[in-house]
Structure 1
Amino acid sequence: MELYDTEEQQVEAIKDWWKENGKSVILGAVIGLGGLFGWRYYQDSVTTAQETASESYSKAVQQLAENNTEGEAALQAFIDANNESQYAVLAALQLAKVQVEAGEFDEALAQLEWAKSATEDQALSSVITFRLARLKLEQSDFDAALAELSSITDESWSGRVAELKGDILLRKGDSEGAYTAYVEAQQAEDVSQTLQMKLDDLAK
């Protein structure tokens, strides 16, 4: 660092430095503050969009509960308008559930397939994949159902996956394979209350 003999020299040095670097400092400050406020604006925009989507999702689900026909249309409209939001994925799950209950399996399958492709959330993906497997079982598409199950790698699902695998194999006529899958499911922490009944029925 340079040492100045007098205050006047210090002042002159500062003036000279400012002439050379002042514009850069101001520009840097403007860019920095602009970036800060821009980031805050972006975050506020994202938060607002999420809150709006959440509110719209709640209204659409409520409408579905009150009136199935109009509610389904409202929920589908919400999905189409918010297809990049995770709320749209949740809405698709709700709509698929109603369609399954109405026996509209192909429509429900399309909703679940879209939901699976639209989410990167591993936990949610496991839920969707499991429902896809159950639905394909209902359609007697056994091999496709087994393929769906094999893609679930989350250990917390191991019991449910093994039990559903047993259900699929049983429907395919593979009683021995079903029994093996049920025994495997019995070792998991997420064992169901109906599993023992299934094992007992096969043991008869």
Structure 2
Amino acid sequence: MEFIIDTVNLDEIKEAVEYMPIVGVTSNPSIVKKTSPQNFFEHMREIREIIGKERSLHVQVISKDCDTIVKEAHRILEEIDDQVYIKVPVSYEGIKAIKILKAEGVNVTATAVYDLMQGYMALAARADYIAPYVNRIGNLGADPMELINELSNRIVMDGYDTKIVAASFKGVQQVRDAFNYGVQSITAPVEVLKQIFKNPNIEKAVDDFNADWYAMYGEGTGICDL
């Protein structure tokens, strides 16, 4: 089970990796636009410095034709490092690019997956991660959890090493469902993950425990004060 964050905001990343068991960072052009770094590659190198090589970094291409996708992938790898996962949308040109990049030994995250057959194509092309868009699929009237379940079953049946990294979340329930239906990873905004801890019952339980403690040992007397 992997928690990945979908942001390029340096402060968010620093806080998230400090507080939560975060194993990677994903980005796309829309996510980058929210921060609008002046120097894209320098910014991504800063992210790598924050997260280290032990966490994954996923960076998306922007071109729509295979040849340019591959060129952009090479540039990303040259400018950041060769451990970056290149995010490639699963279009007709994109699947060709995924095949080429995997033949070169490049880490690939197949993204913009809305349909199970897209997922199967990316799986057969040996993508390392496949990213179905949970919320967007639901908004189109389809069932993202059915897609995740079928794709997960196929990975197990055929013995693929590929992981599903579910993306496009608007709330914690979607994240929980994605894990329960078989994804190995999720990538979500930091604010969505922080919602996990905003249950008022958590704070009440801590307050009740503290009240009992202070009733025994005196208000303001902590464990370290004994």
Q: Same fold (TM over 0.5)?
A: no
Given the two structures, how large is their TM-score scaled by the length of structure 2?
0.25
State which structure, 1 or 2, has the greater radius of gyration over its C-alpha atoms.
1
Whose strand proportion is higher, 1 or 2?
2
Given the two structures, how large is their TM-score scaled by the length of structure 1?
0.27
